[in-house]
Structure 1
Amino acid sequence: MLIEFSVGNYRSFKEQVTFSMVAANLVAKDKKLDENNIFEIDDDLKLLKSAAIYGANASGKSNLATALGFMRWFMINSSKETQSTEKIGIERFKLSTETEDKPSFFEIVFLINGKRYRYGFEATIEKVVSEWLFDVPKIKETRLFERKLNKISVSKRFKADGIQQKTRHNALFLSVSAQFNVRIAQKILDWLTNRVALISTLNDIGYRGYTVSCLMDNENKDEIFQLLKKLDLGFSDVKVEESEITADSLPKELPDELKNLILKNVEGKLSSVQTIHQKFDGKGSLVSTEIFNLDEQESEGTKKVFALAGPLVDTLKNSKVLIVDEFDARIHPLISRAIVELFNSNETNPNNAQLIFMTHDTNLLNNKLFRRDQIWFTEKNRYGATDLYSLAEYNVSNDASFESDYIQGRYGAIPYIGNLNHLINFHG
C-alpha cells in the first residue's frame, strides 16, 4: 500500500510537495463514503482507496507521476542499468537560482505485509548525495541504513555489511543490496516492480499489450471481458488472434525500409484484437455477427478502455497500486466515474487496491463520489514551482458543490485566461 510520496529540492520545504493517501480526520457528507472509500490499517492509520489530482495545464500534475516513475526506475535499476560514468536522470528545477544546483529529493512511505517503510534519497545528475531506509517494527521508527555520500551506516537487521564498498557514487545502496540478495531490499524492489504500476493514457502501447497477454493466457480473461461488456463499448465479444509477422501484417503506413528492418530483426508472432458486433436486419432482428479490427475500426476511446481493462482488473484482484496520468483522455466521463466507483467500493474492491489519477474531468468533483481528502490540486506559484494541496485543507462544508467552486476558482489550480477579444488584428 502507498502511504505518501514526497519530491522536491534539497530538503527545502518550500520547494517540496507531499502527496498522501492517509485519510484525514474528517466526516464525509455520506457515511457510505467513509465505509467504502477508506480502509483501516490499525488504530492510528487509515488509507484512501482512490485520489484525484486536478490542476491547470503545465501546473505539475504529470511531473508528480514522472518523478515517482523516475524514483521507481532508479530504485530498481540503478545498480544494473547504469555505468560508473553515466549521469543520473534527474530533472532539475531550473527556475530558481537557490535550487538549480542543489540535489533533488525523493521519499516514499509504504506498507508491505502490514509493515511500514520510509525510503528516500537525494541526488544530483552526478551522484547520490544521501539515502535512507527506516521501518516501524513496533511503535518507534528504526533505521535500517543511512548514507551520506560514500559513507553508509547499516544496521544488523538489514544484513548488508560489505556491500557499501560495491556501491557506485551514481547507484543506490538499496538497489545494490537487492542485487546481492539482501532480503529486505529484494522485498521492497519486488513490491515496486510487481505491485505499483504507472501508466500514461496518452500512450496505449505498453499496457494494451498487457491486456492482450492476459486474454491470450486466460489470466483474468472473464473479468476483463465482463468489464468491457458492462462499460457498453458496443461489441458482444473480444477475440485475440496470432499470426506470423509478414510485410502484409504490418501497418500499411510504415515505410518499406522500416518494414524490412522489422522483418529482419523481430521474430515471433503478431497479435491482433477483434471485436464481435451484432448485425440486424431491417426489422431489427439479429441475423449474424460482424468482426471489427480493434486498431482499424474501433474508436480511440474504445481502444483506450480496452488497454486499461487488463491493468484495472489486475490491480483490483491483487491489491496493487495503479497511478494513471491523463486519466480522462479519450474516454466518456461516465466511464471514468464507473472506474473510480470500482475502487471506491467494498464489494468490487475488497482487497483495498489503490487508484491515483491526474485528470481535468470536473464531473468527478462530486461529494457523493469523493471525500474531501481524496481530491488534490496542483498550482504553479509565482516562481514557477508547483504547490500541491488537498481539498481537506479548505474550510468548506461536505455538501458544497466541489465542481462549481473549483471552476469558479475558489480552490485555485485553474488557468486564469486573459482577455482574448483583441487577440487577432483584423484591420492590419
Structure 2
Amino acid sequence: MLIGFSVGNYRSFKDVVTLSMVAAEDAYGNDELDKNNVFKVNQQFSLLKSAAIYGANASGKSNLILAFNFMRRFVMNSAKLQITDKIDVEPFRLSTETVDKPSFFEIVFQLKNKTYRYGFEVTQKRVVSEWLFCTPRSRETKIFNRQGDKIEYSKNIEQGNILRGLTKKNTLFLSLAAQFNDSLTVEIVSWFSHLGVVSGLNVELLKAITLEHLSNRQDLIDGVNKLIKKLDLSIDNLNLETETGKISLDSLPQDLPDVVRNIISHSSGEIKSATIKTYHPKYDSTGKMIELEIFDMDNHESDGTKKILALSAPILDTLQRGEVLVIDELDARLHPLMTRSIIELFNSQKTNPKNAQLIFTTHDINLLSHKFLRRDQIWFTEKNHQGATDLYSLVEFADINNNNTFEKDYIQGRYGAIPFIGDLSKIIGN
C-alpha cells in the first residue's frame, strides 16, 4: 500500500513535491466517506483508497504519472543497463539552477506490516545517491545508503561486499541486489513490479496491458465479463483468441514498453498472438435474441469501449490483489457515470476489501463533491510564471469545509489550477 510519493527536478517539477495518501485527521462530518474512502493501517495513521488530481492542460498532471512510471521502470530495469547507457531521465529545463542537478524520486509504502522509504537521485549519467530505510515498529532503521560509489549497508543485505563491487554508476543498488536474489530487495522490487501505471491514451499500449492481465487468467476474464455487463456496454461477454508463432527477441525495438515486451518474451522464442473478441446479442424480427455475433475489438468497438475494456482487467486485478493503480486521464473517452463507477469500486468496503488504491488525473468536475470525495482526496497541479509545477491538496485550504461547493469554487478559480483563457474573439480578423 502506498503512503506517499515525492518527485523533484523532473520534467515540469522544479522543487520537490509530495503526493500523500495519508488520511488527514480532520473530522469530515461524513461517516459514509470516512468508512468507505479510508482504511486504518495501525494506531498511528490511516490511508486513502483513492486520490484525484486536477489541473489545467499542461499544468504537470501527466508528468506526475510519468514520474511514477519512470521510478518503477528504473527500479525494474536499471540492472540491465550497459555502463555506457544513458539514464532516461529529464530534469527541469527552464532554470539554470536545476538543469545540471540530479532528479529526485522517493516513495514510502507498507509491505508485510513494515514501512519502507526508498529513493534515489539520478542524472542522465549516474546514480548520485540512493537509500532504503525500514520502520518495523516506531524507529526508522537504515537498510542501505549510497552516495556516489560509496555504499553502506546493514546485515539485512546478503552478499553486500560482492554487490557493492558490481554496482555500476548507472545502476541502482536495489535492482542489482534483487537480480542476485537478495531476499529483502527481491520483495521490494516485486512491490514495484505490481505497481500499475497507465500513462497516456495510446490504444495499442492499453490493449497490450489488457492482454498481459488476461493471459492465462480465466478468473480475470470472468470478472471482466461481469463488470462489462454492469456497465451497460451492450456486450454479452468477451474472450481471447490466441495463435502461437515465433519471433526473435533481438528484433524487438529497444524502446518497446516493458508491458509489451513481457507479453512476447517467452522461452524458445514462442509467443502467443492474442486478439480480443466481443460478443453482441443478435435479434430476429420479433425482437427475440437468437445468437451472439462476434466482433473484433480493434475494428468494431469505439475508442471509449476499447478503453473501458482495456482498463477493466488491471482495475479488477488491482482490487483482487490489494495493490496500487495509477491512471493518467481516467475520464478521457468515458461517460462521467462510468468514471464515477470505477472510482466507487475502490471507495467501497464491499468491492475493495483488500484496500487497493487508485490514483488518477482527471478533468471531470462532477466528481468534485464532498458527498463523493474527501478534501484530502482532491489534489491540484498548477504552474507558476516560471513554468514550474506545484502540487497541493484541497485540505490545505484552511477556510474550506463541507459547506463549500467544490465544483463551483474550482471553476471560479478559488483553488487555482485552472487555465486563464483570454478573449478568443480577437483571434480572427474582421
Q: Does TM, scored on the shorter chain, surpass 0.5?
A: yes
- From 403, 407, 428, the equivalent of 2:407 is 403
Asked whether the 8 Å contact 2:235–2:281 carries over to 1, the reply is yes
Q: Any unmatched runs of 5+ in structure 1? A: 246-265
Indicate the residue corresponding to 1:423 in structure 2: 427
2:196–2:326 CA contact under 8 A, matched in 1: yes
1:15 maps to 15
Total equivalences in the alignment: 403
**Relative to 1, partners in 2 of residues 1:306 and 1:14: Cα closer, same or farther, differing over 3 Å?**
closer
Aligned to 2:348: 345
2:221–2:239 CA contact under 8 A, matched in 1: no
Deviation digits for residues 7-61 of structure 1 (CA, Å, limit 9, x no counterpart): 1139xx9711111111011222421100110101111110000001011111111
User: SS of the residue aligned with 2:63?
Assistant: helix
Per-residue CA shift, 1:205-232, capped at 9, x if unaligned?
Answer: 3443443462664132221110111011
| Residue 156, structure 1, aligned to residue 167, structure 2 | no
Question: What code does the residue aligned with 2:175 have?
Answer: S
Partner of 2:258: none
Partner deviation per Cα, 1:271-301 (whole Å, 9 max, x = no partner): 3322222233454333443332222121111
Aligned residue for 2:197? Answer: 198
CA change 1:165–1:216 in 2 (3 A) is closer
1:174 and 1:381 mapped to 2: Cα distance?
35
Against the structure 1 CA distance between its residues 349 and 176, is the aligned structure 2 distance closer, same or farther, given a 3 Å change threshold?
same
Distance 1:102 1:273 in 2: 46
- In the TM superposition, what whole-angstrom CA distance separates every residue of 1:35-94 from its partner, at most 9, and x where no partner exists? 1101011111100000010111111111111112111111121112x1111221110111
- Alpha-carbon separation, structure 2, partners of 1:105 and 1:209: 30
Cα–Cα, structure 1 residues 86 and 271, in superposed 2: closer, same or farther, change >3 Å?
Answer: closer
1:356 aligns with 2:359: yes
By how many angstroms is 1:148 displaced?
1.1
Q: Does 1:231 align with 2:231?
A: yes
User: What secondary structure, in the 3-state scheme, does the structure 2 residue paired with 1:156 have?
Assistant: coil
CA–CA distance in 1 between the matches of 2:95 and 2:128? Answer: 20
Q: SS at 1:220's partner residue?
A: helix
The 1:34/1:279 distance shift into structure 2, 3 A limit, reads same
Distance 1:181 1:287, change over 3 A: closer
Task: Identify the residue that residue 380 of structure 2 maps to in structure 1.
Answer: 377
Contact residue 23 and residue 46 of structure 2 kept, 8 A: yes
- Per the alignment, residue 89 of structure 1 pairs with 88
- Output one character per residue of 1:355-393: Cα deviation in whole Å (capped at 9) or x when no partner: 000111111112111100001000001111100000111
Deviation at 1:158, TM superposition (A): 2.7
Cα separation, partners in 2 of 1:86 and 1:359, compared to 1, 3 Å? same
- Give the structure 2 partner of residue 261 of structure 1: none
Moved more, 165-174 or 339-348: 165-174
Contact 2:14 2:98 in 1 (8 A): no
Aligned counterpart, 2:179: 179
Residue 181 (structure 1) shift:
2.0
Q: Quick one: which of 285, 289, 303 aligns to 1:286?
A: 289
2:265 maps to what in 1? none
Instruction: Return closer, same or farther for 1:77/1:410 CA change in 2, 3 Å cut-off.
Output: same
Paired residue secondary structure (2:201): coil
Structural RMSD (CA): 2.0
1:367 counterpart residue number: 370
Equivalent residue letter for 1:231: L
Distance 1:385 1:14 in 2: 6
Task: Please say if 1:324 is aligned against 2:323.
Answer: no
- How far is 1:421 from its partner? 1.4
Q: Helix, strand or coil for the counterpart of 1:68?
A: helix
Matches of 1:281 and 1:412, distance apart in 2: 55
Change over 3 Å in CA distance of 1:268–1:321 after alignment to 2: closer
Contact 1:275 1:292 in 2 (8 A): yes
What secondary structure sits across from 1:122 in the alignment? strand
Say if 1:207 and 1:310, in contact at 8 Å, map to a contact too: no
Correspondence list, 1:29-428, <5 A: 29-80=29-80, 82-162=81-161, 163-193=163-193, 195-200=194-199, 202-212=201-211, 214=214, 217-243=217-243, 270-394=273-397, 395-426=399-430
Match of 2:248 in 1: none
User: For the structure 1 residues 37 and 170, does the alpha-carbon distance in structure 2 shift closer, same or farther, using more than 3 Å as the test?
Assistant: same
**Contact 2:109-2:116 within 8 A present in 1 as well:** yes
Q: How far has the Cα of 1:321 moved from its partner?
A: 0.4
What CA distance in whole angstroms lies between the structure 2 residues aligned with 1:130 and 1:288? 62
Residues 241 and 272 of structure 1 are in contact (CA less than 8 Å); yes or no, is this contact kept in structure 2? yes
Q: Which amino acid is 2:83 matched to?
A: S
**Structure 2 unmatched ranges of 5 or more:** 246-268
Instruction: Name the SS for the 2:41 alignment partner.
Output: strand
**What's the secondary structure of 1:88's corresponding residue?**
coil
| Percent identity between the two aligned chains | 53
364-373 or 343-352: bigger deviation:
364-373
2-side partners of 1:56 and 1:348: how far apart?
32
Residue equivalent to 2:259 = none
* Contact 1:241/1:271 (8 A) holds in 2: yes
Q: Is the 2:3–2:108 Cα contact (8 Å) retained in structure 1?
A: yes
Q: Tell me how far apart the structure 2 counterparts of residues 273 and 79 of structure 1 sit (CA, whole Å).
A: 34
